[in-house]
Amino acid sequence: AQTVTQSQPEMSVQEAETVTLSCTYDTSENNYYLFWYKQPPSRQMILVIRQEAYKQQNATENRFSVNFQKAAKSFSLKISDSQLGDTAMYFCAFMKSANSKLTFGKGITLSVRP
Amino acid sequence: EAQVTQNPRYLITVTGKKLTVTCSQNMNHEYMSWYRQDPGLGLRQIYYSMNVEVTDKGDVPEGYKVSRKEKRNFPLILESPSPNQTSLYFCASSLAVNNEQFFGPGTRLTVL
């Protein structure tokens, strides 16, 4: 079975600064996908970024980028130029290739201070 | 507008009273799934469906039933709800296996 660990329950960052959210996972699978989802106070789940395990290049989406270390089973999210609208809970998730089963971490609450 | 819809958005009910939470998507997605979110536990998969008439258990299926009679709909049925099923429920869909999942707005269920 897969497990996803987000060890930091909360983080805070000053507006315009950079913050990194950590995530580790455990799996015996070779083909899988990793995601970061954002959940603002509205409770909507919003996809932030996606990484395919077979790709060595780290995924980037505007201010969001990941540091994917496959051997270390680490998948951290870097948010550059933090904005007040980035305040949310962030979930790291692992998807098994065979059946699209998503396994989520417990989430981290990020607060961006003005 | 492409979306996943859930109804109702909020529901307060009593123990043992059967209920159904509907989920519908208008994107012709093959894959659909139900999750529950509880504080400190993240989201956990209840059931999923890879296509019409194909469903399978996720990590926490006890006390729930699903059906997939048509591609767009994937209702979640609680035959005899109990207080430990009080939770925030999300339906999600994706075009196919290995595609990112799009989530509905969530259903807040309270069982007294």
Residue B79 distance to chain A (closest CA, Å):
24
Q: What is the pLDDT of residue B80?
A: 97
Q: Does B35 touch chain A (CB under 8 A)?
A: yes
* B92/A contact by beta carbon, under 8 A: yes
Q: Is-contact A107 A91, C-beta < 8 A?
A: yes
* Chain segment B58-94, per-residue pLDDT in tens: 999 999 999 999 999 999 999 999 999 999 999 999 9
Whether residue A103 and residue B100 make contact (CB cut-off 8 A), yes or no, is no
Dihedral over Cα of A103, B35, B49, B97: its sign: negative
Using CA atoms, how far apart are residues A23 and A92, in angstroms rounded to an integer?
A: 6
How far is the CA of A81 from the CAs of A9, A32, B93, in angstroms? 21, 30, 31
pLDDT for residue B96: 83
Interface of A with B in 14-33 (CB under 8 A): 33
For residue B3, give the nearest of A49, A48, A45 by alpha carbon. A45
Helix (H/G/I), strand (E/B), else coil: A29: coil
Q: Return the number of CB contacts < 8 Å for A and B.
A: 58
14-33 in chain B: CB under 8 A from chain A: 31, 33
The burial of A50, by beta-carbon neighbours within 10 Å (0-12 exposed, 13-18 middle, 19 or more buried), is given as middle
How does pLDDT run across A43-99, given as a tens digit for each residue? 999 999 999 999 889 999 999 999 999 999 999 999 999 999 999 999 999 998 777
